[in-house]
Structure 1
């Protein structure tokens, strides 16, 4: 291995890194060939292991990560050129800058790994040093500048044996394990065959953990109707089509009863006070007569230019205070404008693009004997926030969420891989929480994912219709709910600390 990599010209290594990163995209939905994630990362680690030139290592890492992210989220351009009237070339360039900047995060971490790798043994480098810094780099994407953890390595394994670890250490813990696997491959190729047992052990234990049930069924199943309006984003806020949307969801809700009827995110693209005066009273009357609960995606307003992306809950018994959930984790440039970027907001002309942030620890929506925990669009990408809500309810002895609900609108991204990638993220969330998730979307993919991370039923994208499902709630706690990301961070830090102490002890003895 070392002789082959050492003889390769720089341009060959850089090209291979770029191709390996692009190949990594196929490990995620909709292709979902997860072994490619392990193979491509192993290839990158081979170069990092052999090379000693830090600049070459950083360039190789950037090319790998840039290719992976750029081709994985190229669908972001659809928003810009189709709905933001931005020239195609400028939209592509914007995604180039965005993904190129994100790719610099692992570059810094792996540059640090290269800087100090000479101080450690090959086993420590490949099984501790590289995996620790690689997973920290991916985790940093989760929170830096509000976070963009899309296509984190662990998501490729929602259907692999590594999925068994999701309820324990979450998607970032799985990312750490994939890096350990890649490190063991490097050692194997370097002639240290015994370390292949590490990779085998990781997979065997993960497969066994899939048979562990961390949560149990709770209460009676609910009948649910998930509505999909298929409203083109380009015309959503036009007066004529706005009335059509209001009429569609009005008729669809009143069509037949169910325990829970759900519309997508911002299905009613008007604040409550601007709806026709009979709209909500008629829905309340229907809910009361049929014993149905209704979850409406709409905008709320608490004053001039104070808008929130909300879910409004209507119950059979009218409440003094209407249930309202406001989206907490807002998308930069789409839902809030970072300081200094007001010019971008006006250039893109995004309707209601600067919104108010809701509370993180919001209460669930009670539907019969189930507790529905809503999240809106991008929020289900942040598993630690959903876990924190469930854990807070448990430790404060409040109503425990039993079913997760995602209301989203991916019409912004057209017929792209954003939809299946988002479903894959949903599957990982259900594995981490041990609870099913309902997804009601505008254009797709409207889905029911069970507590085992499996797609039970889904509606075809880009059709106007509804998905009728029965969903069973679950109770209990997974280790990930209790500990969040702290468990894998603690395990990884402990391993790194023991290794460092061992190194300095041996150095002192010498």
Structure 2
């Protein structure tokens, strides 16, 4: 097969793999796409295989995270040609990771049985690195396609999203070897069946248990358009919208989304705060707070319980360019017009907030993409709450993709996950990853749910990503030793 045909097929496989994630959710497609990628790269040199992996990655990320351009151009004020170039360069950086996987896999030239294991190890290690380097971007890691109801969801409470990704890549490797005729049919099919059956059996296990204490929660979705949110003349409308929602949907805990009111907390009318506070036993609100870092006043992206200064969480994992400017990139501020884009960083270790009689681990927007960082807070809490404002990405796939990520976090941590967002997706997720209720996006409404807090630890909460990373490193080491021995 000519290289140009292989590259075109790999790009198409990358685009197709995106349909395995929300909002489509055909979870078998990423496995089949990876199998196709490995099959297409099987007889190539390491350099040609790297090019094949790069083209796959470009198709995958350009299709899957094209919403980055929306935030840069439509809401960030960057000229469209520059935002398109920036998005393409960003996707090119992300595509380097699958390129490296294919290059190393071909360079080591593993045997028929070792190839699926080595491919899975390299793939999951590359996704972990992608989610770690330069503050990390783990979005669309392959394991996210296997939220409930995928049969591989059972692996998530044990080994996290990367554990499910390892199994998915392993299955893809086996399929590619079966098509090549390098693995006998019956053992190959049996191994695939075992991985699916074990995943299904693990999915029936319950690693945490309900405490028996029921809590009513109202999640408010103000649906304030991003282009209007920061206009001073629209501030009264935003405040009135959230006050009316809170009064119409009282509960033990009322939750407003990230930066619900676009003012520093100290500048918000106290009478409005008192009125909202009266609608619930406790009220949690996303707000901009003023603090101090090394003797310098800084603003923080925070969540706080109204009326209690000691109940405060400040975002720790900030978004590059949106919430802080990386070193050497100050010049980008001339191209972007993002309000309050220079936040201070909250402490790494922050205790859960005591809200309506329950310990609640709070995370803000993008933070729930980093599962291992949420473990410490979740161990002490019975409930997880995410406050988001995904209006930055318009009517794109970012919202359903983010909801799917929250499903994985609920599975990993064995806790209910509640999401209060400005424009969507406001939802309630059970510890088994099921979305039990959700508001339609881009509607002004409230979601009231009754649920119980949970206790206990999942294996992932005990070990984090260590087991799957150790397994990957062992497999890669074995593959390198075998290659050295010829």
* TM-score of the pair, normalised by structure 1: 0.90
Whether the 8 Å contact between 1:80 and 1:348 is mirrored in structure 2 is yes
The partner residue of 1:429 within 395, 405, 409 is: 409
**Structure 2 CA distance, aligned partners of 1:71 and 1:30?**
13
Superposed CA deviations along residues 249-304 of structure 1, whole A, max 9, x for unmatched, are 233324453110000100011112211243334444x26xx6x1100111001267
Residue equivalent to 2:339? 351
The partner residue of 2:320 within 332, 340, 344 is: 332
| 1:407-426 paired onto structure 2 within 5 Å | 407-426=387-406
**Structure 2 CA distance, aligned partners of 1:497 and 1:431?**
30
3-state DSSP of counterpart to 2:214 = strand
**Structure 2 CA distance, aligned partners of 1:310 and 1:493?**
38
Whether the 8 Å contact between 2:108 and 2:480 is mirrored in structure 1 is no
Residue equivalent to 1:265? 258
Superposed CA deviations along residues 145-193 of structure 1, whole A, max 9, x for unmatched, are 0001111111111121100000000111111111111111122122222
C-alpha displacement of 1:50: 2.3
3-state DSSP of counterpart to 1:223 = strand
Whether the 8 Å contact between 1:74 and 1:92 is mirrored in structure 2 is no
**Structure 2 CA distance, aligned partners of 1:13 and 1:277?**
64
Matched, 1:276 2:269: yes
The partner residue of 1:161 within 138, 151, 157 is: 151
Residue equivalent to 1:129? 118
Stretches of structure 2 lacking an aligned partner (at least 5 in a row): none
The partner residue of 2:17 within 5, 15, 24 is: 24
C-alpha displacement of 1:101: 1.0
Whether the 8 Å contact between 1:219 and 1:369 is mirrored in structure 2 is no
Superposed CA deviations along residues 341-385 of structure 1, whole A, max 9, x for unmatched, are 112123211110010111122111223442111110001100011
Whether the 8 Å contact between 1:220 and 1:369 is mirrored in structure 2 is no
The partner residue of 2:71 within 66, 76, 79 is: 79
C-alpha displacement of 1:502: 7.1
Stretches of structure 1 lacking an aligned partner (at least 5 in a row): 1-7, 392-399
The partner residue of 1:235 within 225, 228, 249 is: 228
Residue equivalent to 1:204? 197
C-alpha displacement of 1:496: 4.4
Q: What RMSD in Å do the two structures reach over aligned CA positions?
A: 1.9
C-alpha displacement of 1:26: 0.6
C-alpha displacement of 1:110: 2.5
**Structure 2 CA distance, aligned partners of 1:96 and 1:274?**
40
**Structure 1 CA distance, aligned partners of 2:68 and 2:479?**
42
Q: Which has the larger radius of gyration?
A: 1
Whether the 8 Å contact between 2:253 and 2:356 is mirrored in structure 1 is no
**Structure 2 CA distance, aligned partners of 1:108 and 1:458?**
39
C-alpha displacement of 1:90: 2.6
The partner residue of 2:355 within 367, 373, 381 is: 367
3-state DSSP of counterpart to 1:106 = helix
| 1:82-101 paired onto structure 2 within 5 Å | 82-101=74-93
3-state DSSP of counterpart to 1:356 = coil
The partner residue of 1:376 within 347, 355, 364 is: 364
**Structure 1 CA distance, aligned partners of 2:482 and 2:100?**
25
